[in-house]
Structure 1
Amino acid sequence: MMKQLVDKTGRDSRAENTGTSEAVLPGDLMTNRQRAQLVLVLGALIAIGPLTIDMYLPALPAITAGLQTTETAVQLTLTGTLVGLALGQLLVGPLSDVVGRRLPLLAGLAAHIVASVLCVFAPNIAVLGALRVLQGLGVAAATVVATAVVRDLFSGASFARIFSRLMLVMGLAPILAPTLGSGLLRWTEWRGVFAALAVLGALLIVVAALQLPETLAVARRRHGGVAATLRDYRGLLNDRAFVGLVLVAGLAMAALFAYVSGSSFVLQDQYGLDEQQFGLAFGAGAVGLIGGTQFNVRLLRRYTPQQILVSALIAGTAAGLLLVVFAATGFGGLGTLLASLWLVLAAAGLALPNAPALAMSRHSEAAGTAAALLGAVQFGVGALSAPLAGLFGTGSVPMAIVIAGGMAAALAVMVLVVPRATLGAVDPDLAVAVH
């Protein structure tokens, strides 16, 4: 039934192409059950990214000892994954606008499976780091295609609502990943984590092949080869509001990844938590992130995405500054540190669905390319934040400074770079409250 809806509306004129706001999008014709099914499938696909990033976090100290390397070198394997995610999306996004969504998705998942298997046999940290880049390239396809599929089917505030639901599904990955990794480490070494990721990739490629229809009709695919792709990127980069919103999303993601990369060392080495306790503490932070995304759905009934985004960035910056104070002074111990982290993650949960929704609503004619640039900046900036936190040590203060800096920089970009006047014209759905 979902495929029939996509095929039917894929031949219709869309709102952005006709200059009206009445054209029917495929998502408008879906029942609640069909939307729930779509969210589950796309959420599972997006979740492979956080699982690939987070599942081995409890094993970072074990990898450091097992491969006889340094903590900074091990953190760079996380950076490698984020670099692969960023570069892969720049390639896969335009490709998915040309050949459709399914083929790049299935090819990327296959690459992830191969890389995960090879990680099991990595002899040293250099090889492991290179394979983590390949893993990132593979899961990039799932990340960018899932976002583009949502834009194929939905627009404006509907996009923000569906994306918030997607973040609920993929938010389970950060909660479960360290716990799953910790459980695996109780009966196997760190290499077993990568074997599990290979199995997960195999399951997801079956789900994608059987459950996800092609959402980009042939008539709407891009033509012109490399020259057209470069024109698309140039058009996106010339849109000041789009670039600003992408940077906002990237800087908010940088705060998130500074927490992801530094929390294992801070909570286990500095505060003495074991692998299982770390998994629980990390999961509590993910609850804050998920809570923010789901509260966002309710807020969208009364406020516009841009209003929520600005408020979230202000709250996240304030919580980040509190985090720096608690980390530097030690006031309240682990409790206040975790509480302020939770507030930052909750604010990020409000910001992350709305910045992409505002950005993507500006360029439906090249949704794959726009999603690629958005994802590349998010994970690229995240890749820089991960080693930046470790460059000045693995304690709580460097991590807190990078987290607070990311949220403060996102707020500054939103206020100084994104023109408020252009946001009101992004999409009719974004200018009104959603009832």
Structure 2
Amino acid sequence: MDKGQSVVTARQRRGAASLLLAMVLLGVFPLDVLLPSFPALAEHFRNTPTDIALSISLFAVGIAFAQVSIGPLSDVIGRKGLLLAGMIVSILGALGCVMTSDYSLFLMFRVVQAVGCGCFVLSQALVQDLFEGKERDRLRILMVTASGVFISVSPLAGTFLQATLGWRGSFWVFIALAAVVFIKAWLLLDNSRPASNGERLGFIQSYRRVLGSFEFVGYWLISAFAFACHFSFIVISPLIFMDQLQLAPYDFALILLIYGAAYIAGGIIASVLNRRITPGRQIIIGLSLILLSGLLTLYLAAHHALTPIAVLIPMLMCTAGTTISRPAATSRAMSLFPDNAGTSASAGSTIIFICAGLISALISLSPANLQSTLGYSFVLLSCVALALNGGISRRARNTQTDVIVQPGSD
């Protein structure tokens, strides 16, 4: 980072952090907050809730498609213009969803909204651009913690918005938040391109460069496996608590609030560890907690009846492990190619998206043994991630050894 950027970063640090947290919050509304409105949407468009669920799938596809292009493009033309354009497109898509009474048009506008939301992938690139060192790591910990808390409270928020404003409520709040992000980005970000130490690469070359690195892919897989543990629980938690344990929706929402508190605790622990130990050790500690949570889940499934406490206690441990390991792994990955931060963020987000979707889908295929399946998944994913981390460390040590023994290296 050059001196000009350092001055801007120092002057706008708090504003940039608030912008990034607003982007994290905004990412929750198009999906999680809308879930309680499925019955109302189905009634409005004269479709079934299953048909309405298609809008979620199309939204995910739209984001995945958009972010693949947005990241590399931002390395060339800068972050600010793409973020502002994304907010405008997402607002237009949300307005279309609110105003239409035709289901096909509703799906089309959801895709438009998703394409605009693809610019959220720039959050990691902006962290890389605007912050340095330990401060960068602390902000990523804060973003992961905030994401977990926002997701945990989203069922209650969605229920409240549905009761007070109807199904359109979540879209109106999304529009308001998108306008806030637009204004913040307009005022806080500059128009300069990201710093580059070499020749700008094309789209394919950029992806080939970052995905050709074992360390880069390895660290993002570690982050993806840690996130998949959290995401899998969120996806199948209604099946455990509402279908198998027969809890009311309100009680289920309260349980998710407790789960959100675990994210706060994990974030505090991660912040303390970030000041005292290396990111590599943070990754090991976080993944070890996920491994222990998996073993505890298997023990409770084998020796105790299914209860909310038996599910929640190991999940709180897993959540802490995710909050500790994921930001450290993400920071390691993003630091490898600072001049291709946009491409790095897009590639990493795609890896996380694919892993989380596939793993949660596989877990949901065994609804009769969800608790045990979660436990086995946590053990397997954490062991693979620990092996990847060990492999990366060995390669780094071997590389350092090769440099030392080269003639003329003294």
Taking the aligned partners of 2:133 and 2:366, their CA distance within structure 1 comes to 41
In the alignment, residue 232 of structure 1 is paired with which amino acid? S
Taking the aligned partners of 2:109 and 2:376, their CA distance within structure 1 comes to 31
Task: Kindly report which structure 2 residues correspond to 1:123-162, keeping only aligned pairs within 5 A, or say none.
Answer: 123-124=102-103, 132-142=110-120, 144-162=121-139
Of the three residues 416, 419, 422, the one matched with 2:392 is 419
Match of 2:407 in 1: none
CA distance 1:353–1:416, shift in 2 (3 Å): closer
TM-score normalised by the chain length of structure 1 = 0.79
Match of 2:92 in 1: 114
- In the TM superposition, residue 128 of structure 1 has moved relative to its aligned partner by 6.0
Taking the aligned partners of 1:306 and 1:45, their CA distance within structure 2 comes to 28
- In the TM superposition, residue 250 of structure 1 has moved relative to its aligned partner by 1.5
Task: Kindly report which structure 2 residues correspond to 1:359-374, keeping only aligned pairs within 5 A, or say none.
Answer: 359-374=333-348
Matched, 1:182 2:159: yes
CA distance 1:146–1:336, shift in 2 (3 Å): same
| CA RMSD between the two structures | 3.4
Of the three residues 224, 245, 259, the one matched with 1:285 is 259
In the alignment, residue 384 of structure 2 is paired with which amino acid? A
Match of 1:296 in 2: 270
Secondary structure, aligned partner of 1:300 = helix
CA contact (8 A) 2:263 2:323 kept: yes
Secondary structure, aligned partner of 1:30 = helix
Unaligned runs of 5+ in 1: 1-5, 11-24, 427-435
Match of 2:10 in 1: 30
Taking the aligned partners of 2:47 and 2:297, their CA distance within structure 1 comes to 33
In the alignment, residue 271 of structure 1 is paired with which amino acid? L
CA contact (8 A) 2:219 2:330 kept: yes
Of the three residues 204, 223, 229, the one matched with 1:230 is 204
In the alignment, residue 352 of structure 1 is paired with which amino acid? R
Match of 2:218 in 1: 244
| 1:183-238: CA deviation from partner (whole Å, max 9, x where unpaired) | 112234434333332333233222222233346457669745xxx22112111111
Secondary structure, aligned partner of 1:187 = helix
In the alignment, residue 392 of structure 2 is paired with which amino acid? P
Matched, 1:207 2:181: no
CA contact (8 A) 1:316 1:348 kept: yes
Of the three residues 4, 10, 13, the one matched with 1:9 is 4
CA contact (8 A) 2:223 2:329 kept: yes
In the alignment, residue 57 of structure 1 is paired with which amino acid? L
Taking the aligned partners of 2:199 and 2:75, their CA distance within structure 1 comes to 6
Of the three residues 56, 76, 91, the one matched with 2:34 is 56
Q: How many residues align?
A: 397
Of the three residues 281, 305, 310, the one matched with 2:284 is 310
CA contact (8 A) 2:224 2:351 kept: yes
Taking the aligned partners of 2:144 and 2:341, their CA distance within structure 1 comes to 19
More helix by share: 2
CA contact (8 A) 1:310 1:411 kept: no
Secondary structure, aligned partner of 1:186 = helix
**Whose Rg is larger?**
2
- In the TM superposition, residue 123 of structure 1 has moved relative to its aligned partner by 4.9
Taking the aligned partners of 1:60 and 1:272, their CA distance within structure 2 comes to 20
| 1:81-133: CA deviation from partner (whole Å, max 9, x where unpaired) | 44333332211100110110011111112222233233444755x77666555
Matched, 1:342 2:319: no
Q: Percent identity?
A: 26
Taking the aligned partners of 1:197 and 1:167, their CA distance within structure 2 comes to 20
- In the TM superposition, residue 70 of structure 1 has moved relative to its aligned partner by 6.3
